[in-house]
Each structure stands twice: as structure tokens, then as C-alpha cells.
Structure 1
Amino acid sequence: MRTNPLIALPRSARRLPRMAPDMSRLPTGRIVTLADDVVTRLYDTGEEHLQPVILLHGMAATGMLNWYQTFQRLHGEYRLIAYDQRHHGMGHTGNFDFQTLSEDVLRVADHLELERPVVGGYSMGGIVAQLAARPDPSRLGGLVLAATGTGAQRNALEKATLGGFARTAPLLNAVPVEVAREIGEEVPGPTAWALRELSSVSLAAHRTVISQVARFNSTSWLHELDLPVAIVKTMRDIAFPQSIQDEMADLLPHSAVFPIQGGHAVCATQPGRFASRMRTAIGWVVSNGR
């Protein structure tokens, strides 16, 4: 008798149905080749008459896994675009550093011929968004930075915080690859889809991202970003404490803060509330970018 592969998961992972997406309301991902032969999986709601918003996922996630509730709730309000960043999901397998990831943002914008898209970034994606705006802020319509900050590991407290994050990184991938493979190749249901997405990010990718975060520091140049920036401030965040998020808001010349009561994984633990906060933040950016 064939056993259910979900039984092999920890109880916390088996609770995924509560946050599973309505697959019928999400665009189908397609494999695209960007400039410089960068290959990725891209999702696009495709409404060319609407303001484009590129959404960048965080570590251990994929484009749609991080943003499915935002896609479901904001569909028809904006042209929403997400893609798998390098070494995540079906993202490019080449060189990985935040500067290169930021160049991929502009590759996506050029590939889709987007004019001044808003760029939203979650955690790692927020760092990438900052870097994407740095060369020429006028290319973008604004930023939405969620659960992110100016960097980490600049003092003893931040080192301790990042060290704890690094030690618990293996727990971020609660779905063994073997379990995901047992789900099969048929079109998966919502829960199986979420499990497969989670298993697609290796522990090596987690370690690489954490080391990149440890070296990142945007405090010396954030004041150069002359564009509207909304900050979705996660009030109980351990990975990016409030002080790091407040510092980011203070340094940016045109920013507004939209707090949400939640930790670093609020997009997963409270996906509906997070999507609603994104709606408010994106709306502020669009209104102030005209």
C-alpha cells in the first residue's frame, strides 16, 4: 500500500493547509530567459494597463510561495510580477550575490518592457530591492520594503541575533526533498504544491544568504534613494530587529512606515493580514510617485 508522504512531516509542516493558496486564482509560472542568458520561473498577472509591481521573495521561499496571498488579494488592482530568485525554486543557478540579484530585477523589468515598476521586497528581497534602486532611482516607481533593514552584524547585539538565525536555518526547510519527490509529478494540490516549493531551496542556499546578509550595510548610501519607499515594519522581528528597520526609515528621504504585529515570517503566519498591509503600502508608493 502506498503511504501518504505527508505523515513523515513534523506537525508544524502538516498544518500548511491553513495557509494553502487557491491555485485557480494564481497565474501559471513560465520559464523565461532574460538578458545574459539568465533563466528563471516568472509569474505575471499580465494587465498591461495597470501599475506594474515586481515582488521579490525572501530566503527559503519562492516567488509565488512568498506572495500568493498578495496575488490573490491585489489581483486587478496592480499588474503583479514575481519570479524565483537565484538558487531558489526554479531560479537561475549561476553566480549568487545580492548585487547580481539586484541586476536580475532590472533584467525582468527590461524583459517585460515595464516603465518605472514599483519593486517590493521581503527580507532578502528587501535588500535586493534597495540595491536595484541604487544605480538609478528614476528607473523605478518606488519601493516597498517588508521585514528587512539596512543590514546586520554591526554590533554585538546584531551579531548575536544573526548567529541565532544562522543556527536555526536548517529548521527553515522542514520538508525533506525525499518527501517532496514522493508527492509525484502530477499537478499538485495546494498543500503538496507548498511542500514542493519549500523543498526546492537547499540548506546551502540558506547559508549563502545568511553570509550575504552579514556583509550587507546600506547605511552609507540609502539617503541617495530619491524615490518613495514604504516600509512594512514587522514589530516582533528577530532577524531584522525594529532598530534596523527604524534606521532604514530614518535614512530614506521619502519614506512611510506601515507596522504589522508579527515576526519575520509574518507573510506565512498571517498571510491575509500581510497582504492587506502590502495593499496599503503599495498604494502609498504609487500615490507619492506621481
Structure 2
Amino acid sequence: MLRRALLALPFLALPAAAQEWRPERPMTIVLPYAPGSAADGYSRAMGEHFTRVLGQPVTVINRDGGSGTVGMRVVAQAAPDGLTLGITPMTPVVVQPHMVRNLGIGPDSFAPVCGIAENILGVVVREDSPFRSLTDLVEEAKRRPLSYGSPGPNSLPFLGVWRVQRSAGGSFEHIPFRGDPPSMTETLAGRLDFSAVVVASASGQIASGRMRLIGVFSDRRHPDFPDVPTAQEQGLDAVQLSFVGMYAPRGTPEPTLQVLERECRNAMETDTFRQVARQLNVVAGFRSREEFSAMVRDEYASFGTILPQLGVRPE
């Protein structure tokens, strides 16, 4: 009898072992920039997938401000139960902690879940602008100050322009905004000379002919705008990469992270996500939790060296 009972124990344990994390309440995905960016579209596509497979509604909210730090503080301060996630470029996680004293967040505040996309950054001008290249901008900026907008002070688009200035000179007057759309609105209205943006956020304006993309800061051309050269190809030492990922609060349990990582990958393979990414000219590419975590650590260390070299000091 005892032997039969012992033999039965593994089978009795199977249902419990087979259980995996499932949210018990609605989930929230925080976007730390103003509405209207490309991230809004694909984050909502990801939220729809999570709702369908995990069984709880997912709300996507915008909490902008502080070059992404306001929204990511919301994520960092949330309970580590998998119910509050953030989707953001790396700026508030790996750049801003070097820029702002006592910011309260950094890489150790989060558990990276997955990498989602490369935000190829670039410069856009109004369609009737005389500037047709980044070198045109530099030459004019040596004659007079040029005004431009970006998603915020020390955002990665801002740092792309900073690199142009450090590489070639010129005078650039920076006007910070809470995201790409407000900056582009001002450029379209003629109140700014250009905008430094995530190219995907400007893709509709570029496709309609209202704006012109004159250069990108990636180490490759944007696949949807293959005729537009990189800054490097235009003779400027101004490579600025930007990767987007999903983050959970530090301390989120391993089983929860495993499910979130898996469903991040699965969401990116759905027709809905692919269609949204294609429509918004998003350069999507899944990165595992391990790979993306290593990238976050490396980028944080890199900016700790690069920013002082650029003359940037914490405020």
C-alpha cells in the first residue's frame, strides 16, 4: 500500500507543476511619451494579444514627461506582480540616470522582459525646406542658429543632433517637447527649422509628402526609406542607436517573466502586430530577455563613459 502511494505522488504533483502564471486582475502597459507615436500603435497590438491569451483586459496609458522618466517611475514603483509593464526606448533607463541626480530609477529598477524594435532616429524637415541633407543643415547652422525640436532634453534624438554638432560644428537651438508629434507640428507650422525624431513617428508625414527625411542616425539605412543616407554616409560621425523594449518592475518573479517574455514573442508573430509595424514603418525585431538585459547593462555603461566626453554633466 505504501509503495503504491509513493508511486502515485509524482502524478499527484503534476497538475500543480504544470500550472503557470496568469494575471488575476487587469494589466496596464505604460508608455512614457505623449500619444501619437509609433509605439502607441504596436503597444496596443501587443496589449490585444495579451488580453486574448492571458484572459485579462490590458489598458495602454501614456504618462509622459521628463524624457520618459515620469512614466517609467510609475512602472518602477508598481507592485512586481506582472500587472504593470512599461514599453519604452532605452533613454529613461540608460541615459537619464546619468543626467539627473537622484532620479530614483536606473537599470536596477527594472526586470527587462523583451526587446521589441529598433527606433531608427532621423531628421525631418518641412517639404518646402531648402535643406535636403544633414550637411545642408550644418552649413546653414554655421551661418545662423537653427531651431529644432526633440522628445526631450538628452533624449536619443537630441543626442543624435548633439553628435552632429560635435562632429561638424554649427549652432543649434534645442526646443524640448513631450514626444515626437508636438515637435513635428511646430516644424510643419514653420516655427522650427527641423525635428529630430523616431523615423516611424514621422512616416505618415513623409509618405504624404508634407515632410522630408534628410538623414538617419542608425548604422544602417531605414529599410522603408532606402534612398535616405545615414549621417555616417554623409560624412558625419553621428551614430545614435535606440532600441525599444518591455520592462517589468524589479523583483517580478521568474515564472511571471517567463510567461511575459513568451507572449511578447508570440505577440510579435501575430498578423495584427506585423500589420501595425508595417503600416507604421517600425523596424521590429524580437530580442530575448537574456539578450535584451545584457544590452541594457551595456548601454548604461556605455553612456556613463560617452556623456562626460560629450560635455554633459548631471543636473
TM-score of Structure 1 vs Structure 2, range by shorter chain: 0.3 to 0.5
Higher relative contact order (CA 8 A, sep 6+): 2
Higher strand share: 2
TM-score norm. by structure 1 comes to 0.33
TM-score norm. by structure 2 comes to 0.31
Which of structures 1 and 2 has the bigger CA Rg? Answer: 2
